[in-house]
Structure 1
Amino acid sequence: MSAQRQETVKRFAAPDIAARKGGVPVVCLTAYTAPMAELLDEHCDLMLVGDSVGMVVHGLPNTVGVTLEMMILHGQAVMRTARRAMVVVDMPFGSYEGAPEIAYANAARIMKETGCQAVKVESGPTVVDTIEYLVKRGIPVMGHVGLRPQAVNVDGGFKAKGKGADERARILAEAKATAAAGAFAVVVEGVAEGLAREITEAIGVPTIGIGASSGCDGQILVTDDMLGLFDWTPKFVRRYADLRGEISKAVAGYAEDVRQRRFPGPAEIYFAKAG
């Protein structure tokens, strides 16, 4: 893509995503690196620099250990090659749950240092006021209800939500409050299918499903799961490739060629010029 072409591409923004409510589903995937962002950009409306990077890239057991600096580093990498898709960066655990002023300082830092178009927060019971605080001060916010990975220690693991009446009512109320606070979209993760549909019908902003329902206004997956880079993937993931197998096959071929002295060959070697 030429520099001139890059300048003329219109990037998706929060109002564009919000306007897709009830329309063509919003296509979302996670991105953590510049090469992957470049590959996804043509096909996605929104790329999330998710705190799942802690597990996918850094080998952490959950997302709790992810830092603000990690999110900024990966956000910068994605923004170097993303041209078309809206880029949203997760606010990590501990960066927004306290005073709204602290959340604002951290969100503003993310946006300034990465150039992203919005941040995402998990919409726990104390976060709604913070969402409103951020939005009023010019920071677009995406919410997140249902299974909240940052609450793994409270929940005792990654467990589907919304199967009981009380929990169902609580999640629906959180989704409504998140939308009312000014979030331009709400991720709905790991909930009973009927609840996801109910949330989608009840709020006026797009719902982005992950382990939820095809009735949501959009869908998101962890790209590495979708591409088959791990042995195990959650129930809600559909594998569109088996890159783990392809990579293993390629590396095995390379290793064998090295051991048999077939690599490097004449095509990969530099020779001195005659004379």
Structure 2
Amino acid sequence: MAVTWTEIQRKRLMELNATETQRQMTFATAKERDEDFKRQESILIGAAKLRLEHLRSEKKRPSLSLLASKLVTALNNNGFVQVTTPIILAKSLLAKMTIDEEHELFSQVFWLDDKKCLRPMLAPNLYYISKDLMRLWEKPVRIFEIGSCFRKESQGNNHLNEFTMLNLVEWGLPEETRHERLAELAAIVMQAAAIDGYRIEQTSSVVYGDTLDVMAGDIELGSGAMGPHFLDGKWGIVSTWVGIGFGLERLVMVKEGGQNVRSTGKSLSYLDGVRLNI
């Protein structure tokens, strides 16, 4: 019977960003396994130290920060204006997204009190300011935000309680161009993130209904929606639109071949993908 890694060994290999092949290795005996674990751990720690030295001497900024800058430049060059909105969100704005006590996302919200929470998404604030911008600016109105969102997510390899979202929306375009435009916007983001080989799938979300998701393997990188949509009336908006959102930590993880999204996000345990207890 083949011998596999112990749970402690497997966790340590995951922390050190071992590949799937390394994590699935089998051995004839426990002694052989334990000896090879020491070798694999030593190799991974050596690679991690080299990456930290590269960050200190050359990169100077983590990949997550570099990606955010690249996205700002790419979107500005395509006519989008960056906005910044508050992290603290009113319960009433969340309710306009149909997220109330009966909604499955409600239990994932970090509530500060009975009227305020940490935003679980960027969309409510973008809706809020868009109604004024469409009055003040000629269409098309193109805006985006990059910022932290918070959810009580399951602690799997692809989920974080605090994560960085990019949301972009374009208001006032011909209705017949919406699908094509969503694909174009996805391509702008994926090119900035230097990710090839993605695909777009039609699926559904708990907020927007039918969506177009950007997938790399079995990992969802982004999700797009379009309107007119039934939510629009809650904000006093009547317009054709497309919007798409991406999780930046997942983009970094896929681009760099990471095995754990926690290593790419804001953390006290990781720095630029490297576990610090090495």
Which gives a bigger RCO, structure 1 or 2 (Cα 8 Å, sep 6+)?
2
TM range (shorter): under 0.3
**Greater strand share, structure number:** 2
Q: When the two structures are superposed, what TM-score results if normalisation uses the length of structure 1? A: 0.25
